[in-house]
Structure 1
Amino acid sequence: MSGTSLRIPLFPIGGAILFPRSQLPLHVFEPRYRTMIEDASAGAARIGMIQPLGTGDDPQHPPLYRVGCVGEIVGLEELDDGRFNLVLQGSTRFRLIAEADVGTPYRQADVDEGAFDDSDPDPLGLAQRSEVEREARRLGDAMGLTVDWSAVGRLDDEMLVNAIAQVAPFDVGAKQALLEAATLPERADLLVQLMQFLRLAVGGGEQSPRLQ
């Protein structure tokens, strides 16, 4: 799929990943991004979440990964000092076409929002679903997290996988790989592997036989 061009403001944050049909709360404090939120909320109320690819020569204008996700502003609170609390709802992943030469303090780009078919994700098989839940529990225990696992078990497949992918402390490259996974089962398979490696890194026991 391709050919659906859209110009959107870009919000490049390392480690902040948004998926279709997932929500992402953000606290916006930099002046240029406060301006971006003001402009977006007065218009189409859409911004593009995308990760920086390293720092480059200009930390204020780093190179970007080519894939991000369009976020719809569904919650907005302006604080007394001009900062914003923001909630984004993911709509569809996009592929970066080219940055636009504009006069705004924030970056904008033309993106292909038809580059991915995110309309009807494939479900996980029972075994794969169980594996995701099991590795999430093991990682949570290894990191000493308090989690309502009964609530986790009630999430649908897509929400389960994407919620873990968003909140787990993976590095930028791992987060990007999860975002770019072609299908939900592929994302779940990668997520399991990343959780296993992270659990080992924090001293959470032996590696599972699947990766030995």
Structure 2
Amino acid sequence: MTITPMFPLESVRLPGEDLPLRIFEPRYSALVRDCLAGAKVFGVVLIAAGREVGGGDARCDVGSLAEIVSAQEHGEGRYRIACEMRERIRVEKWLEDDPYPRAVVEPWPDEAGRLVTGDEIVDVEDRVMALFERIAAAKKARLPSRGELLGELQLGEDAGNRLYALASRVPMGQADRYAVLAAPSASARLDALSDAVATVAAMVEFQLAGE
């Protein structure tokens, strides 16, 4: 377990995603300065209730580590940083927000569970593609290729990470994104993603019916 700087956001960030940030609030300027002088990593969690600016928020306890890969300083504590989301983490204890949010965290790799098969991955990919095709047909738009839309399977990529990558491309709500992130195993993540795709598909049909 490690004491880690934390950056609560109003959106869920999944492992493998990019995270660009503009920093101007003093406490997060201090966080960035300390990170740039050290390990260049901080934790990102979803704000469950309240507001991000000024504290006083309620925070979820499952998030991901963000690694700063580039930073530009613009004076007066302002930064533009580009981050890549790394491993999933679980907050064990929140500490005082002094000088910025901090928590005791530990890595949370996928737990053991039912094996997710290649056929199940293909099935959920097919359902995501069908969703995109439905939207494109309604808008009379031309879709990019399957590989461009869903991303290519990376060599050695496991089922859990592939499901993260697919989830990052589906226009789902934050509650569904958090369900995907917080699923304890790859098989539970598959179920969460399947439910999210079904929810988005139903919403699309409802919206199209009203047009």
Give the TM-score category using the shorter length: 0.7 to 0.9
Look up the match of 1:17. 13
Q: CA RMSD in A?
A: 3.3
Look up the match of 1:135. 131
Residue 160 of structure 2 is aligned to residue 165 of structure 1: no
Query: What TM-score, normalized by structure 1, do the two folds share?
Result: 0.73
SS for the counterpart of 1:60 is coil
Residue 109 of structure 2 is aligned to residue 116 of structure 1: yes
Residue 74 of structure 2 is aligned to residue 74 of structure 1: no
Distance 1:205 1:186 in 2: 30
SS for the counterpart of 2:125 is helix
In terms of mean alpha carbon deviation, does 173-182 or 161-170 score higher? 161-170
What code does the residue aligned with 1:6 have? T
Residues 194, 153 of structure 1: CA spacing in aligned structure 2 closer, same or farther, 3 A cutoff? closer
Instruction: Give yes or no for contact 2:150–2:169 (8 Å, CA) kept in 1.
Output: no
- Aligned with 2:149 (options 152, 156, 159): 152
Q: Deviations over 1:139-171 (max 9, x none)?
A: 566689886334125422767643453465533
Instruction: Give yes or no for contact 1:165–1:175 (8 Å, CA) kept in 2.
Output: yes
Distance 2:26 2:137 in 1: 39
In terms of mean alpha carbon deviation, does 89-98 or 189-198 score higher? 189-198
Look up the match of 1:178. 180
Residues 30, 171 of structure 1: CA spacing in aligned structure 2 closer, same or farther, 3 A cutoff? farther
SS for the counterpart of 1:53 is strand
SS for the counterpart of 1:32 is helix
Instruction: Give yes or no for contact 1:123–1:185 (8 Å, CA) kept in 2.
Output: no
Instruction: Give yes or no for contact 1:139–1:199 (8 Å, CA) kept in 2.
Output: no
- 1:195 deviates by 3.1
What code does the residue aligned with 1:134 have? A
Residues 129, 74 of structure 1: CA spacing in aligned structure 2 closer, same or farther, 3 A cutoff? same
In terms of mean alpha carbon deviation, does 179-188 or 45-54 score higher? 179-188
Residues 67, 170 of structure 1: CA spacing in aligned structure 2 closer, same or farther, 3 A cutoff? same
What code does the residue aligned with 2:19 have? L
Identity %: 22
What code does the residue aligned with 1:155 have? E
SS for the counterpart of 1:8 is strand
Instruction: Give yes or no for contact 2:127–2:197 (8 Å, CA) kept in 1.
Output: no
Q: Deviations over 1:104-157 (max 9, x none)?
A: 1x10011111x3238xx9664233332233334435666898863341254227
Instruction: Give yes or no for contact 1:124–1:184 (8 Å, CA) kept in 2.
Output: no
Q: Deviations over 1:185-207 (max 9, x none)?
A: 5434433432332343344558x
SS for the counterpart of 2:109 is coil
Gap runs ≥5 in structure 2? 154-158
Instruction: Give yes or no for contact 1:6–1:111 (8 Å, CA) kept in 2.
Output: yes
Residues 116, 173 of structure 1: CA spacing in aligned structure 2 closer, same or farther, 3 A cutoff? same
Gap runs ≥5 in structure 1? 207-212
Larger strand proportion of the pair: 2
